[in-house]
Copies of this chain bind each other. A is one copy, B any other.
Amino acid sequence: MDWSALPPMTALRALAAYADTGSMTAAGARLNVSHAAISQQIKGLEDRMGLSLIDRARGKGGLTPEGHALAETTLDAFANIAMLSAELTGRDAERPIQVSTTPTFASSWLMPRLAGFRQKHPELSLMVDPTPELREIKPGGLDMAVRYGSGNWPGLEADLIVESTIAIVASPDLVGTGDFESPGDLTQFHWLQELGTSEASEFLSRYGAVLNTAKGLTSLPGNLLLEAARAGQGIGVAARAFIQPDVDSGRLRILFEDTRNDGYYLVYRPGVMRPSARALYRWIKSETEAEFG
Contact = CB atoms under 8 A, between A and B. Distances in A.
A133 B212 CA distance: 29
Interface in A242-281: 256, 258-260, 271-272
A206 B202 contact: yes
A89 interface: yes
A268 to B, nearest CB: 13
Contacts of A6: 78, 81-82, 85
A80 B73 contact: yes
A107 interface: no
Contact of A89 (B20, B50, B79, B88): B50
Task: Report, as a range, how many residues of chain A touch the other chain.
Answer: 35 or more
Given A66-B272, A209-B256, A77 B75 contact: no
A278 to B, nearest CB: 12
A256 B184 CA distance: 14
Nearest to A50: B89
Contact of A69 (B75, B82, B88, B183): B88
A13 B207 CA distance: 52
Interface in A49-104: 49-51, 65-66, 68-70, 72-82, 84-86, 88-89, 91
A2 interface: yes
Contacts of A181: 184
Contacts of A203: 206
Given A9-B9, A49-B89, A77-B80, 8 more contacts: A7-B85, A12-B81, A51-B88, A65-B272, A72-B271, A76-B77, A181-B184, A182-B182
A81 B7 contact: yes
Contact of A91 (B1, B5, B205): B5
A114 interface: no
Interface string A141-181: 00000000000001000000000000000000000000001
